[in-house]
A and B are shown apart, each in its own frame.
Chain A
Amino acid sequence: MKEFIKTKKVTYNLMSFTAFKALVLFAELAQSPKSYKEICDIFYNHPYLREQISIDTLRVYINSLKRLGCEVKRVKGEDKESRYVITKHPFELKYTPEQLQSALKVFKSLVKNIDIEELVALEELFEKIGGFIKDEDFINEARKLSLIREIDRSILKDLIECCKNKDQIIITYDSPNSGEKKIEILADKIEISNNKIYLYGTGFEHKQYGIFLVNRIKKIDEIKIEKSMPEGIEETKVVYELFCPNAELESYEKIIEKTDDKIVIEALTSNTFLLRQRLLAYGPNCKIISPDCFKDEFIQLLKDMKAGYYCG
């Protein structure tokens, strides 16, 4: 071998030419159909072989490949010449149903833990594998488990890019209340919440931070070259106590006081509706301190909820 590395000259002492020819033949026929003449030329022009091959020897090689499990077919092209081609071979990707099920189990455990970009890539990998093994059921099973099954993937990928660049975009949104309409947003992030995928961003129409269901976004109409912030955004500062010490905070929340049994949080937001929803979910573990208007609305909402149960 050392001699070969030095001289690049192959001798019978160095390697098995039979094995080498079989490898060359396999690679050539797996790539595309080849006639006997074309195979002879390839062998003759090969830097290490430099000899032709008899038709009988070729048959022996082909029989060997067939015995191994290769599907070798003879096809005729437009030139009426007969060519050999390998259509299936034992080195292709193959899985047992158990292996596929185990992979799907791990896929299921990952889909709710990874970020949206990773989710798209993982789903595409499973589709690619499904394509290699020609198993539509496997692709469908993975899709069923995926959170992005109802979403146009190309729109999603574009939105991910827009969020990375914090682009100012105009989207066509199919609103359940007002039908299709154009919305201008400063894209911020895409996140999965309650098994749904949302685009977060500051809307120009309502001048507040909002969330938009990605499966309702029909298209991105425009990505503006220059960015601006909507004027006149009104932000509310809300202070509240949380009695569950392990609460996970959002980017607009900060801890201003911490004791053994509670944390005091200050949130600055332009969308009090979203904050109210968030605080409602804490139930008795949350008490709003200020501002009074927000607190009063919150109490009134709780009273309305209660009344709904007694009057409904």
Chain B
Amino acid sequence: MAKKTPEKCNESCIKMFEFLKKLYVGEVDFKWVINHFSDGKYDGTSNTHVTLNKYLNALKIFGIKIKKTNGKYRMLSPLYKMKFDLNDVKSINLLKKGCDLLPDGKNKSHCQEFINALEVRYDETAQSLIQVAETTQNLDLAFYHSEMVEQVKQCEKYCQDKQKLEIIFTDDKGNEINLLCSPVETVYQKRKIYLRVNSNSGSRIYEIPIDNIKSVHPIPSSVSGNTMPTTIVFRIKNRLAKNYKIRDWEKVQGFETDGSKIIVNKNEDFNILLNRLMRYGNQCEIISPKFIKDEMINLINKTLSNYQ
């Protein structure tokens, strides 16, 4: 069989497009560019500089803006653009703020690459909206985290490292609690950040507001993957049974003849769950386990004692 002759190409065109491809990923070092255009033979005396300028001018006249600062090229206006409106640009800014809070590591760099890939493809309209988006942003995560950004990053790191921790934190009333636990994840809710942990036995979940944490000491013992969180079963009745929206971490175990529903709940902080179930008044009743049922009765009794 005859060998297929390679099809004729224009090598310098390919070089220019490869340079553009690299610019889509991020900044490109001058050294790489000059080596690329001289086939790695640049010795400082050849005319590669002149050739490079001609290519850069061709790109510029075509409308692709490339800026060189501190020995690095950056693309300001690309060859292939995507349309983004004001809401998109605002959302991309939100992602950036969320990404800033991630600890240094693979996750953060992957997220930065995700955002960069969008920004580098901004069309002219999106570019003109950057300023507007920044001045009209509703969410400013810094409102809460300006002094706590390091703690947040540290907590993210604990979760990544999967090492057991000894945490001292304060409860609602300012009492200090000492807890041996395994970090699970950081949870963002209503503009507050919580560190979600599993108790040492693995049976109880805690969501600790990061600003309530007094100290954290890693323990030289890694987190076991075989934890079994406690399952809480409760009954909801009447109107609540009709209106109740099952959470992602719950399921309906059964229905009763009077229309009541039996709900099985896993992985929710007991204190948060008890407060939530308190809201439902006499339309809700914990069935098991006994110790949680007793905690609920205790909570009701303590509340009643305010009026005795």
Contacts and interface: CB of A to CB of B under 8 A. Distances in A.
Contacts of A113: 139, 141, 188-191
Dominant secondary structure of chain A at its interface with chain B? helix
B139 A106 contact: no
A303 interface: yes
B52 to A, nearest CB: 10
Interface stretch (B28-36, B80-88, B198-206, B220-228): B80-88
B302 interface: yes
Contact of B79 (A27, A124, A129, A284): A27
A141 B245 CA distance: 20
Contacts of B117: 93-95, 99
Interface stretch (A57-65, A73-81, A162-170, A182-190): A57-65
Contacts of A125: 87-88, 91-92
B303 A284 contact: yes
B90 interface: yes
Contacts of B280: 277
Dominant secondary structure of chain B at its interface with chain A? helix
A304 B187 CA distance: 35
Given A106-B95, A280-B281, A287-B307, A61 B80 contact: no
A24 interface: yes
A304 B228 CA distance: 34
Contact of A114 (B78, B94, B296): B94
Given A22-B16, A99-B110, A16 B245 contact: no
B307 A95 contact: no
A41 B92 CA distance: 41
State which size class the interface on A falls in.
35 or more
Interface stretch (B6-14, B41-49, B66-74, B161-169): B6-14
A114 B281 CA distance: 30
A91 B302 CA distance: 65
Interface in A192-226: 194-196, 213
A305 to B, nearest CB: 5
B110 A20 contact: no
Nearest to A128: B88
Interface string B134-160: 000011010000000000000000000
A93 B12 contact: no
A284 B281 CA distance: 14
Nearest to A248: B190
Interface stretch (A230-238, A249-257, A264-272, A294-302): A294-302
Contacts of B245: 195-196, 213
A55 interface: no
Nearest to B11: A64
Interface residues of B, number: 88
Contact of B78 (A17, A26, A91, A280): A91
B62 interface: yes
B306 interface: yes
A112 B194 CA distance: 12
Contacts of B125: none
A304 B279 contact: no
A7 to B, nearest CB: 13
Contacts of A89: 80
B252 interface: no
A38 B133 CA distance: 41
B281 A305 contact: yes
B278 interface: yes
A213 B243 CA distance: 9
A288 to B, nearest CB: 8
Given A93-B121, A107-B95, 14 more contacts: A16-B12, A16-B51, A27-B62, A66-B7, A89-B80, A121-B91, A125-B87, A177-B242, A244-B172, A244-B173, A284-B306, A301-B282, A305-B281, A308-B282
23 contacts: A4-B57, A16-B16, A16-B55, A19-B13, A19-B58, A64-B14, A64-B17, A89-B80, A90-B21, A91-B21, A96-B110, A99-B117, A103-B110, A106-B98, A106-B111, A118-B91, A124-B87, A246-B172, A281-B275, A283-B299, A302-B304, A308-B285, A309-B285
Closest 3 CB pairs of A and B: A176-B242, A102-B110, A121-B87
